Amino acid sequence: MSNLNKWSRDICCENAKQFGEKIKKIRKDKGLTRRELAKQLSISIELLERIERGWVDPRFEAYAPALKKRIDKFLYDGREVLMTL
């Protein structure tokens, strides 16, 4: 892996982690459970958990409205997928 690719991946991972931490804090401050927020966002609880832990790059979320498809269906097609960074 080139240094540029490693740097880009590290920045992406750090942004995803910070984004997830913010989402989790806001959710808790509003007294929402993961189930409640996931339902409001039309995503699975599992995907919300991955986002809160920083395992999913939040930029993927931009595709869902444009494709009129739930993002967990778009990314995982209903199959179990191992997430690697």
Instruction: List the CATH number of the domain containing 30.
Output: 1.10.260.40
> pTM score > 0.75 for this model?
no
pLDDT band for 71, please (50, 70, 90 cuts). Answer: low
pLDDT above 80 for 81: no
Query: Cα–Cα distance between 39 and 41 in angstroms, integer?
Result: 5
In a domain, 82, yes or no: no
User: Which segments of 3-44 does DSSP mark as H helices, in order?
Assistant: 3-29, 34-41
pLDDT above 80 for 36: yes
In a domain, 26, yes or no: yes
Rg (CA), the chain: 14
Domain extent for 33: 3-76
pLDDT above 80 for 60: no
Count of domains for the chain: 1
